[in-house]
Amino acid sequence: MTPAARIQAAIEVLDLVIEAARSNGAPADRLISEWFRARRWAGSGDRRAVRELAYRAIRACGEIPATGRAAMLRVADTDPQLAALFDGSRHAPAPIDAAEPMAEAGVAPAWLMQRLADSGVEHPEALLDRAPLDIRVNTLKSGSLDLPEGGEKTVAAHGWRYPPETKIEQSPAYLEGMIEVQDAGSQLTCEVVAARPGETVIDLCAGAGGKTLALAAAMENAGRLVACDADRARLQRLPPRAERAGATGIETLLLDANREMQALEPFVGAADAVLVDAPCSGTGTWRRNPEARWRLTDKQLERYVAIQSRLLDIAATLVKPGGRLVFVTCSLLDAEGADQAEGFLTRHPDWRAELPVLPAGTPRGAGLRLSPSRDGTDGFFVARFVRL
């Protein structure tokens, strides 16, 4: 593909991403992969270049663009060399008309920018930086560890950081289950749980089990670890991951959304610790999913907040006296963080908050906030509550 043809390809991909954002369709990475699957003649260099152009445009536009061309014109407006490739030649985009619409620059839609400002988020532009690749060393695997070259230690106890383009999943250490891909901030939130061998620990919103595996390592495969989720497809991805990691004895429990207590009844008052990594807006993960900020609406945010409150109330019933409940969201919005923690304490006077002690993060209400700009991690809120 010529450089100009790559721009036109990125415009076509962006049209798909924009439509999916409006209709809550497939994520950008999947759409890009599917687009190239139908064009197997494109080489690896073409794929990489088109992907980078598409994501560059996604990151450049605050409000959702009208079209892929409008999004790419936003990039071309500050890149004369790219603008010159809009020359109308074969497979190239048509020449730029000075009067044609261009997407608005910015970090996020206006209503979200106001929410971020109200939540005291500084340097929101850092939310769109390209994320590094973080890994967690799996302490369940014994023997010598041959880490891939090019990494540096993070503040997480078992964390290392690599450049984003590192082919970590092709390394022997990954293939042998000695390392797991996990953001340093995510690793730190697991450390707040302080899971110990012999305990009963419940991961209430386990998903595919990234945090569950970190808890299993902390528990040294001793105790009872229950991974729960209402999404069968995601939960089914955990057993093969656990086998590869050498994490034995993890129980999976499929929940019926809005009827969770039917399955959780045997665990009422039995858990030493419950982790609630609740569904949320994902504002802290825009570095990895920048088009997600175009998908979120105020009503969706309200639904997430209601789900989080309900899950916290369910989790509270599972913890034994003296036990702990850790609430985590990958969000920087107070509605899903400090306000949510305050609401829990108001509803449950028989609980108290313990401010997590971590080598990163800033106090926010009853918990800590981790942010890309200050901590170099994805954005998280984490709070720890103890039952009296």
Does the structure show a pLDDT above 90 at 40? no
Annotated binding residue at 277? yes
Residues 6+ apart with CB under 8 A from 79: none
Of 182, 206, 79, 192, nearest to 131 by C-alpha is: 182
pLDDT band of 216, cuts 50, 70, 90: very high
The two beta strands, 250-254 and 351-354, are unpaired
Annotated binding residue at 134? no
Annotated binding residue at 272? no
- The DSSP string of 327-353 is EEES---GGGTHHHHHHHHHH-TTEEE
Residues 6+ apart with CB under 8 A from 373: 122, 123, 126, 127
CB 332 within 8 A of CB 283: yes
Crossing angle of helices 210-218 and 184-193, rounded to 10°: 50
Q: Say how far apart CA 382 and CA 337 lie, in whole Å.
A: 7
Residues 6+ apart with CB under 8 A from 17: 28, 31, 32, 54, 58, 68, 291
pLDDT digit string (tens) for 244-274?
A: 999 998 999 999 999 999 999 999 999 999 9
Give the chain's end-to-end CA distance (angstroms, integer).
Answer: 65
Does the structure show a pLDDT above 80 at 44? yes
Residues 6+ apart with CB under 8 A from 113: 62, 106, 107, 124
Q: Give me the sign of the Cα torsion angle 55, 61, 64, 68.
A: negative
pLDDT digit string (tens) for 318-369?
A: 999 999 999 999 999 999 999 999 999 999 999 999 999 999 999 999 999 9
- The single residue of 61, 190, 228, 330 carrying the catalytic annotation is 330
3-class secondary-structure state, position 18: helix
Q: Say how far apart CA 320 and CA 127 lie, in whole Å.
A: 38
Q: What is the DSSP letter of 124?
A: G
Q: What is the DSSP letter of 94?
A: P
Q: What is the residue-averaged pLDDT of the chain?
A: 96
CB 127 within 8 A of CB 287: yes
Does the structure show a pLDDT above 80 at 144? no
Does the structure show a pLDDT above 80 at 142? no
- Position of tokens 């009963």? 200
- Position of tokens 């386990």? 206
Does the structure show a pLDDT above 80 at 185? yes
Domains of the chain: 3-106 (no CATH), 133-180 (no CATH), 184-387 (3.40.50.150)
CB-CB neighbours of 77 under 10 Å = 15
Identify the pLDDT of residue 97: 96
Active site residue 330: yes
